[in-house]
Structure 1
Amino acid sequence: MTHAVIGFGRLARALVPALQAAGHAVRVGRRQPGPGELTAVEAATAADWVWLTVPDDQIAATAAGLPWRAGQLALHCSGATPLTALAAAPAAAGFHPLKLLAGEAGLAGAHVGIEAPPEWLPALQALAVDLGLQPLQLPTPMGASARAAYHAAANLAASGVLAVLSEAQALWTAAGLAPADALPALAPLTQGALATALARGLPGAVSGPVARGDVGVIARHRAAVDAAGLADDLLQALAQRQLALAQAAGRLSEQQVTLVQQALGKA
């Protein structure tokens, strides 16, 4: 199996060595190749599978500019882009690793969302296993709205957590504590919540004043957010979701739910 990888960003820098370590030949195609390097057309011509690891808004144009032949498979690794962007190719599939690729992080250990026609699915699932990934079969075909929801879920679970930690850091600083200490001190709480959720499920992991029905603490939290000069929209939105989890876990009585909603200004 010979693979062409078109584009050499962060994802490709993890994908190429993983493919090579699994015993596959890889040709990297670059938009502006240097001496001894291949163009996108040269790499694609020599390959069985062609990976388009370019930015999302370049996938369709890049696919349209390649000289496809029968039997080739085009793949993208985008979570948000439908496979219609690869319409120029004879066959298309999506292979989206659910992993943040920061620094030198590799692919192994992550789930990978695979969208593919039935005739290509077994080979892609086998490749995922070879790369140390856990294959996750996506609906096929996956429409634009479903793709957007899937990708929004992934983004919320990744950078969405960073937004929450940023808000926590601002409140930490408003309490008179050193900003540099915020992340090292708070991140273990995030990690602990995730570990508990994996063991017990989301409702079983929820804790804090909302889950206890402690309306006095909730009121003080809202006052602290106001005193820090922050909008309390994020705090309220998160508290409402925590309340739903606490209800799902049977943690609160109807009266407690009403009191929490009143404390949040929602009743």
Structure 2
Amino acid sequence: MKHAVIGHGRLARALVPALRAAGEDVAIGRREAGAGELLAADAARAADWVWLTVPDDAIAATAAALPWRAGQLALHCSGATPLAALAPAPAAAGFHPLKLLAGDAGLAGVHVGIEAGAPHRPALRALAQRLGLLPLDLPSPMTPQARAAYHAAANLAASGVLAVLAEAGALWAAAGLPPGEALTALLPLTRGALDTAAARGLAGAVSGPIARGDAGVLARHLDALLAAGLDADLLLALGRRQLALAEAAGRLDTAQAAALRGLLATGSC
């Protein structure tokens, strides 16, 4: 099996070493080849599997520009882009690691969404396992609605957390604490919640005033947002979802749940 990886961004910088460590023959193809690299067309021409690790908006144009031949498989690693973007290739598949890649982070240990027809799915699953990934079979083809929901779930679990931390940082500053220390001080709480969720599940990990049925503390949180000049929409939306988790865990009695639900519906006692 010969692989060509077209583009050399963060994903390629994790994928290429992983493929080579698994014993795969890999060539890097770029628009302007550097040392040890090939031009994109030359790399693709010699490969069995061609990985397009270019930005989402460039996938279709890159696929259209490559010299395809019978028997080749084109792959992209984008959770948001339909396989139709690879239509010029003889066959297409998606291979989407569910991981944010930063620095020298590798791929091992995470799930990888695999979108492929029956002829290629077994080989892609086997490759995923050799790379230390956990294969996740996606529908093939995915409907636009399913793809959007899948990608939204991944994005919410990743950058969505950053929006919550930004709101927490604003409240931290409103408390008169040094803004530059907010992230360092708050991140251990985030990590602790995630570690507990991994061990106990989401409902088992929920904590704080909502999990305790403490409507008075929640009301004071809402007052603090108002005093800081911040909208309560995020806290209210998150609170309603925390309430559902707390109820699923059996943490609240009927009166507690009703009081919290009323407060979260109106934003006031």
| Alignment TM-score, normalising by the size of structure 2 | 0.95
Question: Distance in 1 between the 2:36 and 2:3 partners?
Answer: 18
- Tell me how far 1:181 sits from its aligned partner: 2.1
Conservation of the 8 A alpha-carbon contact between 1:11 and 1:101? yes
Spell out the pairing of 1:104-119 with structure 2 (5 A cutoff).
104-119=104-119
Structure 1 unmatched ranges of 5 or more:
none
C-alpha distance in structure 1 between counterparts of 2:101 and 2:246, whole Å = 33
Distance 2:137 2:37 in 1: 35
Which residue number in structure 2 is paired with residue 63 of structure 1? 63
Q: What is the distance in 2 between the residues matched to 1:35 and 1:182? A: 43
Q: Deviation at 1:238?
A: 0.4
Matches within 5 A, 1:154-169: 154-169=154-169
After superposition, where does 1:1-267 map in structure 2 within 5 Å?
Answer: 1-34=1-34, 37-266=37-266
8 Å contact from structure 2 (residues 5, 50) kept in 1 = yes
Q: Percent identity?
A: 73
Change in Cα spacing, 1:266 to 1:257, as seen in structure 2 (3 Å) is farther
SS in 2 for 1:264: helix
Q: Which moved more, 1:230-239 or 1:25-34?
A: 25-34
The C-alpha deviation readout for 1:94-115, integer Å capped at 9, x for no partner, is: 0000111011111111111111
Cα offsets for 1:176-229 (capped at 9, x unmatched): 112222222211111111111112211111111112221110110001111111
In the aligned structure 1, how far is the partner of 2:36 from the partner of 2:185? 49
Amino acid at match of 1:184: T
Cα shift readout 1:223-265 (whole Å, capped 9, x = no counterpart):
1111111111111110011011111112222322221122224
Question: Partner letter of residue 55 of structure 1?
Answer: P
AA of the residue aligned to 2:25: A
**Cα distance in 2 between the residues matched to 1:47 and 1:191:** 42
Task: Give the conservation status (yes or no) of the 8 Å contact 1:52–1:75.
Answer: yes
How many residues are treated as equivalent by the alignment?
A: 267
Gaps of 5+ in 2: none
- The two structures, once aligned, show a CA RMSD in angstroms of 1.4
Instruction: Spell out, residue by residue over 1:5-59, the C-alpha distance to the aligned partner (whole angstroms, 9 max, x if none).
Output: 1111110111111111111111111122346642211110010000000111111
8 Å CA contact 2:27–2:37 kept in 1: the answer is: no
Separation in structure 2 between the aligned mates of residue 36 and residue 249 of structure 1, nearest angstrom: 56
**Taking structure 1 as reference, are residues 162 and 29 closer, same or farther at Cα in structure 2, changes over 3 Å only?**
same
- The range that moved more, 257-266 or 125-134, is 257-266
Distance in 2 (CA, whole Å) between partners of 1:10 and 1:96 is 13
Instruction: Provide the rounded CA distance (Å) in 2 between the counterparts of 1:246 and 1:258.
Output: 13
Rounded to whole Å, the distance in 2 between the matches of 1:212 and 1:10 is: 43
* Preserved CA contact (<8 Å) 1:4 1:51: yes
Query: Are residues 231 and 84 of structure 1, via their aligned partners in 2, closer, same or farther at CA, if it must alter by over 3 Å?
Result: same
CA distance in structure 1 between the aligned counterparts of 2:122 and 2:36, rounded to whole angstroms: 35
- The answer to whether the 8 Å contact 1:81/1:144 transfers is no
Q: Distance in 2 between matches of 1:36 and 1:177?
A: 51
TM-score (norm 1): 0.96
The one-letter code sitting in structure 1 at the alignment partner of 2:243 is L
